[in-house]
């Protein structure tokens, strides 16, 4: 089903799958929302961030859409958006700094329209870098990181999350060095839950359904209570 197009900056979270623009620091941010099945929806919303736009990453990336599906099927309503300079979003790529402010603007809107919701952040590759570095600042209640790009961007200078946190990493990733990710996690005082997927590359070719199941199983105990 195609999302319903709505006016910019809606005053409430849409009650159906919807597309609209949100005001961002560099201009409009192209946004998609969708709803978990009712009844059974949880009192939380997940913001899902896409991979590097310089390399063609958008909110329609197959890993992003499967991650969004896993979160929504777990009971969370979802929000995806295109970072600055991607798709219909204004601005230009800013190596994670401006994209962090894009994420903050989206979360600020979400806090306004759903002040009682748990905030989940999720991302794939570059999107996981942006969400990891901002999880503490934005007071995320949970974090899901798919193929975090350790070694491609610095992950050592930011305050690491203490909320429930899942990392999924393919052991045959050809873009991010898997051992660098495993070593990074081994060095943490409060490491995330780690799922290692054998014979799995960066884009999870032929493993997307496995990714969906792994995420749903891992986050089941972290989910917020049922929505009223």
Count of other CB atoms within 10 angstroms of residue 93 = 15
Domain ranges of the chain: 18-222
pLDDT in tens, 96-142: 999 999 999 999 999 999 999 999 999 999 999 999 999 999 999 99
Q: Which residues contact 189 (CB under 8 A, 6 or more apart)?
A: none
Could you tell me the fold of the domain covering 18-222?
Rossmann fold (3.40.50)
What is the layout of strands, in order, in the sheet containing 142-146?
A: 4-5, 18-24, 27-34, 77-81, 44-49, 118-124, 142-146, 165-170, 193-197
pLDDT in tens, 187-212: 999 999 999 999 999 999 999 999 99
Q: Is the pTM of this model over 0.95?
A: yes
């Amino acid at each position: 089903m195609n999302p319903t197009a709505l006016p910019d900056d809606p005053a409430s979270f849409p009650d159906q799958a919807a597309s609209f623009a949100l005001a961002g620091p560099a201009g409009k941010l192209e946004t998609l929302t969708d709803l978990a099945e009712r009844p059974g929806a949880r009192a939380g919303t997940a913001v899902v961030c896409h991979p590097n736009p310089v390399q063609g990453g958008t909110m329609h990336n197959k890993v992003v859409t499967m991650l969004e599906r896993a979160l929504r099927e777990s009971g969370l309503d979802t929000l995806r958006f295109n970072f600055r300079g991607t798709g219909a979003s204004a601005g230009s790529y800013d190596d994670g700094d401006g994209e962090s402010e894009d994420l903050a603007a989206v979360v600020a809107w979400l806090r306004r329209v759903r002040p009682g919701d748990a905030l989940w952040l999720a991302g794939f590759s570059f999107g996981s870098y942006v969400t990891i570095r901002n999880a503490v600042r934005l007071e995320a209640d949970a974090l899901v990181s798919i193929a975090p790009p350790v070694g491609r961007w610095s992950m050592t200078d930011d305050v690491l999350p203490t909320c429930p946190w899942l990392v999924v990493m393919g052991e045959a990733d050809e873009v991010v060095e898997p051992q660098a990710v495993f070593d990074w996690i081994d060095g943490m005082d409060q490491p995330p839950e780690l799922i290692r997927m054998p014979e799995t590359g960066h884009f999870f070719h032929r493993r997307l359904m496995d990714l969906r199941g792994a995420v749903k199983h891992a986050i089941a105990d972290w989910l917020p209570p049922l929505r009223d």
